[in-house]
Structure 1
Amino acid sequence: MQGTFKKIGLVGRSRQRGLTGVLRMLLELLEARSLEVLLEDTLGHVVPNHQCRLASLEAIGQEADLVIVVGGDGSLLSAARTLSKYETPVIGVNRGRLGFLTDITPDDIAEKVPQVLDGHFERESRFLLETEVRRDEAPVGRGDALNDVVVNSGTSAQMIEFELFIDNTFVYRQRADGLIVSTPTGSTAYSLSGGGPIMHPTLDAIVLVPMFPHALSSRPIVVDGNSEIRLDILARNRIHPAVTCDGQVKIKARPGDSVHIRKNPYRLTLLHPMGHSFYASCRDKLRWSNALVS
């Protein structure tokens, strides 16, 4: 199956530690196969004397057959919000810490990247969320998220009061530091630290995790992935809560605003080397026991 991909995009964050060596390794591998390479324009100075064309992330999404993201999961989250619009498949080379999404290590590049280029890979489709903040029914901000949308007070030791609706059905009124609305992809991220469940990435579901709720009986709720979620920030709040997407896109809301969250029509196509296992990743990244019970 050699020749599956002809034009490869290389993207990442220019300040990522150890980025130069990994990019050079990838460039040598791709050039040896006579593949056309599009290098994200923000990385041009990271690998001087390169021979590939510089392009914006948008242009890479439009033109590339495959995009290799170098960095941690944050780098992939940032790229995914753009690349998902073009259905461009993505693989991740991990230069970060946990790396649930960027699962190829620099030591594995010479073995695993050629396998993917030759068509030997496992494909996953991950859905994103889209959020819109409305004020007097008019939109004042929007964003997309592969991991999660978080509404929080933004102030230490202060709660906000909001009402939660799912598919226009009232769920509860809550006083809490905020609410995490997470995809299955994000269930091993911020949602997990807030006490949310780990969800297999193939699930079509969304989890809502209250952040330090005033009511001790308040627990995470898992709902259908096609649910329409709305948070009404009560007008009597004095705090202007922040609405963040993947911890990277921030919208400032006001008392009286409503936050609308639903599944994004675009999906991220994520490629893994053959033999990839979500549960093996959990064992590795979350330090689960590797012991087998006979």
Structure 2
Amino acid sequence: MGIIGKQDRNALETVARLVDWLESVGRVPLLDQRLSPHIDRPAERFCPRDLLAARCDLALVVGGDGTLLAAARVMAPRGVPILGINQGRLGFMVDVPPDAFEAPISAVLAGQHLTESRLLLSARVISAHGEVGPLLAINDVVIRNQASIRMLEFDTWLGEQFISQHRADGLIVSSPTGSTAYALSSGGPVMHPSLEAISLVPICPHTLSDRPLVVAADRPIKIRLGGGTGTLATVTCDGQSHEALRPGDELIVERAAFRMQLIHAAGYDYFNVLRNKLHWGRGPN
């Protein structure tokens, strides 16, 4: 197995305890190269993330959802399942408590766990200069105006079917996993992670009737940017990779050819996560 950790004091302390405990039960994990300045182990135990993905059959990720997203970019293409230990703020996907990880991880290693196979997004930018991509997104692909506060103009298609013209600050194309992230704060729906669906969520649309739309993931989504020559937009995948989009350019977003394998300890309940993280059914503090 491999261990990836967020680069902050609390997460690194948890990583150190995790490594000690795993070794005490006869497991010798590989470690992300970025942990080498902080964890005192032989050099051969550390390797870059791409090599870590090639050599391990389970990735333990210590951090928040952002840390897990970064790890999944490397692990998902190789089919390596991921188990998250929550050392972040919200933690929708990292559900193992950092102060009591021994029992859940022991259960996982004994085969007592749930595996979710989650849909991922693949994006390509097509312009007169060629094609950029594919770009991987676990949560979402977002178009925003790069240079000003002016609205963007863009058209959308599902496969060969035209959807609509839009004027908005941008557009979020979200996977079910990303539906509780930026898309949710922009008025999009919560989608169960087992759905084979994608949501299109306009950001501050000019027309009040331009509402979020959920579509089946069996056809690609095409977005063509309009506007004048001064328009310049940015395509962002999970807030971690960026590409320029100019008038006439097209963004193609579709279901990725591979999926993210997310491990949960037995007893995991998605709706319990929503109740706890979104404070459903609770009164004021």
Task: Indicate the TM-score class for this superposition, using the shorter chain for normalisation.
Answer: over 0.9
Matched, 1:64 2:56: yes
SS at match of 2:228: coil
Report the Cα distance in structure 2 between the residues aligned to 1:138 and 1:168, rounded to whole angstroms.
21
Measured against aligned partners, the alpha-carbon deviations of 1:118-177 in whole angstroms (never above 9, x if no partner) come to: 111111001110101111272035411010000111355311111111112111111111
Matched, 1:271 2:263: yes
TM-score normalised by structure 2 residue count: 0.95
Structure 2, unmatched stretches of 5+, are none
Aligned partner (choices 157, 170, 176) of residue 165 of structure 1: 157
1:1-294 alignment, distance < 5 Å: 8-13=1-6, 15-49=7-41, 53-136=45-128, 138-155=130-147, 157-234=149-226, 236=228, 238-289=230-281
Report the Cα distance in structure 1 between the residues aligned to 2:8 and 2:174, rounded to whole angstroms.
26
What is the alpha-carbon root mean square deviation over aligned residues? Answer: 1.6
Contact 1:161 1:237 survives alignment (8 Å):
no
SS at match of 2:51: helix
Contact 2:158 2:219 survives alignment (8 Å):
yes
Count residues with an aligned counterpart: 283
Report the Cα distance in structure 1 between the residues aligned to 2:199 and 2:153, rounded to whole angstroms.
19
Report the Cα distance in structure 2 between the residues aligned to 1:171 and 1:137, rounded to whole angstroms.
26
Contact 2:225 2:249 survives alignment (8 Å):
yes
Report the Cα distance in structure 1 between the residues aligned to 2:10 and 2:44, rounded to whole angstroms.
20
Contact 2:125 2:132 survives alignment (8 Å):
yes
Measured against aligned partners, the alpha-carbon deviations of 1:29-76 in whole angstroms (never above 9, x if no partner) come to: 211122231100011112234676101111111111111011100011
SS at match of 1:36: coil
Report the Cα distance in structure 2 between the residues aligned to 1:118 and 1:16, rounded to whole angstroms.
30
Contact 2:171 2:203 survives alignment (8 Å):
yes
SS at match of 1:84: helix
SS at match of 2:99: helix
Shift of residue 239, structure 1, vs aligned partner: 2.3
Contact 1:141 1:251 survives alignment (8 Å):
no
Shift of residue 237, structure 1, vs aligned partner: 5.2
Amino acid at match of 1:97: R
Percent of counterpart pairs with the same letter? 39
Contact 2:5 2:12 survives alignment (8 Å):
no
Shift of residue 211, structure 1, vs aligned partner: 0.5
Structure 1 residues 280, 90: closer, same or farther in 2, change over 3 A? same
Contact 1:89 1:269 survives alignment (8 Å):
yes
Contact 1:123 1:272 survives alignment (8 Å):
yes
Report the Cα distance in structure 2 between the residues aligned to 1:57 and 1:49, rounded to whole angstroms.
17
TM-score normalised by structure 1 residue count: 0.92
SS at match of 2:202: strand
Structure 1 residues 12, 216: closer, same or farther in 2, change over 3 A? same
Shift of residue 100, structure 1, vs aligned partner: 0.5
Amino acid at match of 1:147: N
